[in-house]
Amino acid sequence: MRALIAAALTALAGLPPVLAEAPPRVVSMDYCADQYVLGLAERGQIAAVTVEAGQDYSAHRDLAAGLPTVRAVTEDVIALRPDLVVRSYSGDARQDALFARLGIETHQIGYAPDFETLRDAIRAAAAAMGRAERGEQVIADMDAALAEAGRGEPVSALYVTPGGVTTAGGGLVHEMILAAGLTNHAHHAGGGWIAMPLERLVAETPDLILTGFFTTAAERVNRWSAGRHPVMRERLARTPTLDLDAARLSCGGWHLADGAVAIRRAADAILNGGAP
């Protein structure tokens, strides 16, 4: 019996190794999906990203350089013969059904209102792309940034957009402010995105103003909004202000943790009597 087992082991040792399954060829269908595909997939498995992947508001725009681009048009995507389509806000059930009939899988990136849900979204997307280990590394890096951001004394912060709205609670921008150990100046029980509270700004100025999308090349249509109101301009002129990189804000992703670190450092500078 021992001789038979030894012979079997010897025969198995002589067999060629089993090749690992190749990761799926991936096409990104919209700008938010671009961030996950560029950040998680191997470059060689990316069949195409969208034309927005290289814009200044894309967190991974450097990684998009040189990659093929595609429109979110069914025929164009099919022509690339991907194994997997990743989408966030683009596409619909009919398109998914057609892809399925052709053997193309679809991964939908869900909405993440907080960092805990975001961890689940990262893991799911990484698994779909055959990149589970990369997903865990991204989560570990995000958690390390959040841990760094959370150390410090609180100050109040108001997030300002050129469109004249701010976050009153709920969603990752609000969570980013809290992760930095700050209080949201516009927070109220109902939450959501609200019009800029100009009256409150007159009566009560926050310690720090956070601006987003004021400098991106894509922002050209909001010149007459509340974000440009004289009251807002006056407060921006005399209140410590941090202009956040739009690439950290425009899609819910792990890069918001880096935004929290930037906010924490600006808050620390204010507490130490300096400029952010």
The whole-model pTM stands at 0.83
- Dihedral sign, Cα of residue 171, residue 172, residue 173, residue 179: positive
Provide the β-strand partners of residue 241.
Answer: 209
Q: Residue 250's pLDDT is what? A: 76
Sign of the four-CA dihedral 120, 123, 129, 134 = positive
Mean pLDDT value across residues 213-240: 65
Q: What is the pLDDT of residue 1?
A: 36
Per CATH, the number for 152-271 is: 3.40.50.1980
Say if residue 16's pLDDT is above 90. Answer: no
* Calpha distance 263→276 (Å, rounded): 9
Q: How many CB atoms lie within 10 A of CB 262?
A: 20
| pLDDT band of 245, cuts 50, 70, 90 | confident
**Residue intervals in the chain for CATH 3.40.50.1980:** 26-145, 152-271
Nearest to 214, CA basis, from 233, 227, 205, 201? 227
Is 26-145 assigned to CATH 3.40.50.1980?
yes
For the cut 90, the answer to whether the pLDDT of residue 33 exceeds it is yes
Task: Write down the pLDDT at residue 17.
Answer: 44
Provide the 8-state DSSP code for 235. H
Q: What torsion do the CA atoms of 128, 133, 139, 142 make, to the nearest 10 degrees?
A: -120
Higher pLDDT pick, 249 / 45: 45
**pLDDT at residue 218 in the model:** 53
pLDDT value at residue 165: 82
Question: What is the pLDDT of the chain when averaged over all its residues?
Answer: 85
Segment 127-157, tens digit of pLDDT: 999 999 999 999 999 999 999 999 888 899 9
> Stretch 118-132: mean pLDDT, rounded?
97
pLDDT digits (tens, 9 = 90+) for 55-86: 988 999 999 999 999 999 999 999 999 999 99
The Cα–Cα gap between 258 and 149 comes to 8
pLDDT of residue 215: 62
- Mean predicted confidence (pLDDT) in 189-212: 80
Report pLDDT for 15: 41
CA dihedral sign of residues 269, 270, 272, 275: positive
The predicted model gives 205-209 an average pLDDT of 88
Question: pLDDT tens digit string along 250-266?
Answer: 788 999 999 999 999 99
Using the predicted structure, report yes or no on whether residue 190 has a pLDDT greater than 60: yes
